[in-house]
Amino acid sequence: MGGIILVLTTVILLILRYNTKAHSPEDTVSYTEKDLKMEVFYNRPYKKERDIFGNLVPYNEVWRTGANEATTFETNKDIMVDGSLLQAGKYTLWTIPMKKSWKVIFNDKMYPWGINLEEEAYRDPESDALVLEVPTQDLRKTLEQFTIRFDKQNEFVLLKLGWDHTLVSVPIKPEKA
């Protein structure tokens, strides 16, 4: 009997995962320069005529920074993130959106999903490796799908997170050897 329940549970989870991926597809973005490689894995929800920040994604609450699984950020080298050291490794990436700024959180722990059964972020603050705050920028055009990308700007690489009419940029600089 226990084997049947395990199989049914697994099948249900696979169906749910497939359905959520159809609405918020996976994406991986990466940046490589010399011997530095950074990569972000995330799921990309759509706006679908919804009011995003302050409504669907509440202000002042931890967000999994996408949909489905917790977003991950990986770097093979130590980097300076907005002036603070982030050691080489793999992190989950969380944010706390606010009206004029966002807190961006790199967390040491990997989680089974982005939210628990109560729809609260899985993030354990005790595992935060780095927390910083960056200002928001208003976008003139609506960004329909949540997007993360890397842009090179002078000596910095900007980790950009944008959706709806909001963009945040996190300045990253390779740590000097």
pLDDT tens sequence across 5-44: 656 555 555 555 555 555 678 989 999 999 999 999 999 9
Task: State yes or no: pLDDT of 47 exceeds 90.
Answer: yes
Task: State yes or no: pLDDT of 150 exceeds 90.
Answer: yes
The backbone torsions φ and ψ at residue 39, rounded to the nearest 5 degrees and listed phi first, read -145, 140
How confident is the prediction for the chain on average, in pLDDT?
A: 88
**Residue 46: partners with Cβ closer than 8 Å, 6 or more residues away:** 23, 24, 144, 145, 146
Share of the chain above pLDDT 90, in %: 73
pTM of the model: 0.85
